[in-house]
Structure 1
Amino acid sequence: MTTMRAVVCVRAGGPEVLAVRELPVPAVREGWSLVRVWGAGLNRSELRTRQGHSPGVRFPRVLGIECVGEVAASTDPALPEGTTVAAVMGEMGRRFDGGYAEYALLPNPLLMPVTTTLPREVLAALPETYLTARGAVDALGVRAGDRLLIRGGTSSVGLAAASIARGLGAEVAATTRRAAKAAALTAAGVGHVLLDVGRDMPWTAGPSHVLDLVGADTVADSLRLVERGGTVCVAGSLSGWLLRDFEPIAMIPSGTRLTAFHSDDAKGSTATLQRVIDEVEAGAYRPNLDRVVALDELAAAHAYMEADRAAGKLVMLP
């Protein structure tokens, strides 16, 4: 095959700037491998890149910060043809073309070889979401008996974090702005679904940890909500990237900790991803799929994501 179908972001703008194009299959070069894409999860960061909020990204660009598939050709003997792999971040879909395509040429260090019997759409729902959720829960130090509040709970990372935290024995509350999404939270192991975090907090002492996936608009409030000496971890940016008028001494209570987890830190985490895959196969974690779309449906899927209609992961199968 010399050509492939891909979805190209032709310029910054709304979902309509995503166009299906016929492109040459990338040629393998030293240090890179060609991956036949089985599936790619959709992410809010791709939405922001499409809108023009990712500095340094030049259009046209094939978006997609993650994918799963099989090695079609490689310059690395440790990655023979046919190897099942996943890849996340590392400037995928930003500095070089990403997963919104039938093939992706990716740096060898990004490729995580895995073994699995999961369906392709389930496997594609895991890498970015579960590696981020696992990293954030670890950054918080969640343990059995802890009280975890997840803000932005019906995001794919929020649902994954709830599943992981419940598996650790923590009590979990999570927020959603839509009552219709409450069932998705309950199914993920959330014990307390909060439609208004300011009035219906289930714990008098407050949560011992807050995982804030909303980000810029809620960090200061999360610091007020967490118990004194607790930890807030910011691992999402549903409301944007920057904290405006943030005064650390005034806004961080004494002894309370503010940390973050960036999904770029998850790249190359082969052992962690394999453990997640094994736990999903064993039924310990849920994949939290909202819907599966084709390449031709990616523009509509971006509109669906931008309207905050998803409760879980959107996955594209080319």
Structure 2
Amino acid sequence: MRAAVCVRAGGPEVLEIRDVPVPAVRDGWSLVRVMGAGLNRSELRTRQGHSPGVRFPRVLGIECVGVVVASTDPALPEGTTVAAVMGEMGREFDGGYAEYVLLPDALLMPVTTTLAWEVLAALPETYLTAQGAFDALGIRPGETLLIRGGTSSVGLAAASIAHGHGVEIAATTRRPEKAGALRAAGVDHVLLDDGGSPITPWPAGPSHVLDLVGASTVVDSLRLVRRGGTVCVAGSLGGWLIRDFEPIAMIPSGTRLTAFHSNDAKGSAGAAVLERVVREVETGVYQPHVDRVFGLDDIAAAHQYMEDNRAAGKVVMLPRGTS
């Protein structure tokens, strides 16, 4: 089979297309023919050498969708459509940047759908994270939501979910040319991020903030949200740690700070949520945005595209190309 092997830490050029053996099935693991894989910035950071414990060479890819080819689990018969995400994919063991991948049975989420592979591939990591964060926020129809980091793939997915549930949305972007993608996802108010605190259209502040920028903006988000509202952190574009954080001083009385991590939506924990997301996409309630589709041969170009911050939405890889 063909796989994109990250041979060492470095730039996109360290991703080499190689012919490698198809993995052999073993107890507790199933062989999946990869039909598509969403690309993620965490894979970019792993490629750059910022994921402690990852040893090269390694096939990257923290998510994929495909079809079971062989399994020792009767619950996963040949031909089952599945999705998988996280669980050390592309880190401790090889991930989705390949024509076939051997995955732990516990990670596989069977799904029934008629969606095209490039659409289905755009959903697992992105929409499970966005849906999980939306559920953690507890937003109800008619409430207001500020999404910080709105043109990230999770930001656009969250906007699609919120719009589908009748929520008024504002979202930030650092790049004015991406405003159209936000509006297409259902954002009512596009806010240009100039590095300061955004001015929202609600004098008392939004009832909820989804902060995908992370550590560098969390304290400001707590100041922005309406008193008694909720801030959910579900991204790390601006770092992992909040230095000198003083909860009593920095969290206003009655305001809630929560978080969601996509690792909480892997395997059986995410299967029902993914089915719900797929149904909403199929019926048109959610409108996923696939920014660009690359073939396996173009994986280095796909990484450069991500590194240049050119995407507004999900970047997807189809191992057998786009034709």
Q: Deviations for 1:58-117, whole angstroms, at most 9, x for unmatched residues?
A: 111111010000001001011011111000111111111110100010000111111111
Paired position in structure 1 for 2:24: 27
Paired position in structure 2 for 1:140: 137
Residue 70 of structure 1 aligns with an amino acid whose one-letter code is V
- Aligned structure 1 segments of 4 or more residues deviating by more than 3 angstroms: none
Give the percent of matched residue pairs that are identical in Structure 1 and Structure 2: 81
Per-residue deviation, 1:209: 0.7
Q: Deviations for 1:246-272, whole angstroms, at most 9, x for unmatched residues?
A: 232322222211111000011122121
Per-residue deviation, 1:189: 0.7
Whether 2:288 is the aligned partner of 1:283: answer no
Matches within 5 A, 1:284-299: 284-299=285-300
Paired position in structure 2 for 1:272: 273
Paired position in structure 2 for 1:128: 125
Q: Deviations for 1:132-179, whole angstroms, at most 9, x for unmatched residues?
A: 100000001111111100001011111111111122221110000111
Bigger shift: 279-288 or 23-32?
Answer: 279-288
Paired position in structure 1 for 2:9: 12
Residue 210 of structure 2 aligns with an amino acid whose one-letter code is L
How far apart are the structure 1 equivalents of 2:253 and 2:139? 20
Across the aligned residues of Structure 1 and Structure 2, the Cα RMSD in angstroms comes to 1.2
How far apart are the structure 1 equivalents of 2:113 and 2:271? 13
Query: With structure 1 as the length reference, what TM-score do the two structures score?
Result: 0.96
Residue 243 of structure 2 aligns with an amino acid whose one-letter code is R
How far apart are the structure 2 equivalents of 1:216 and 1:18? 30
SS in 1 for 2:20: strand
Residue 258 of structure 2 aligns with an amino acid whose one-letter code is T
Bigger shift: 195-204 or 264-273?
Answer: 195-204
Whether 2:163 is the aligned partner of 1:162: answer no
Paired position in structure 2 for 1:250: 249
Whether 2:70 is the aligned partner of 1:73: answer yes
Matches within 5 A, 1:90-129: 90-129=87-126
SS in 2 for 1:24: coil
How far apart are the structure 2 equivalents of 1:47 and 1:129? 16
How far apart are the structure 1 equivalents of 2:192 and 2:202? 15
Paired position in structure 1 for 2:177: 180
Per-residue deviation, 1:245: 3.0
Residue 251 of structure 1 aligns with an amino acid whose one-letter code is M
How far apart are the structure 2 equivalents of 1:143 and 1:247? 30
How far apart are the structure 2 equivalents of 1:199 and 1:128? 27
Matches within 5 A, 1:297-308: 297-308=298-309
Question: Any unmatched runs of 5+ in structure 2?
Answer: none
Residue 284 of structure 2 aligns with an amino acid whose one-letter code is G
Paired position in structure 2 for 1:64: 61
Bigger shift: 147-156 or 216-225?
Answer: 216-225
How far apart are the structure 2 equivalents of 1:107 and 1:98? 11
How far apart are the structure 1 equivalents of 2:25 and 2:313? 34
Paired position in structure 1 for 2:207: 208
Per-residue deviation, 1:199: 4.9
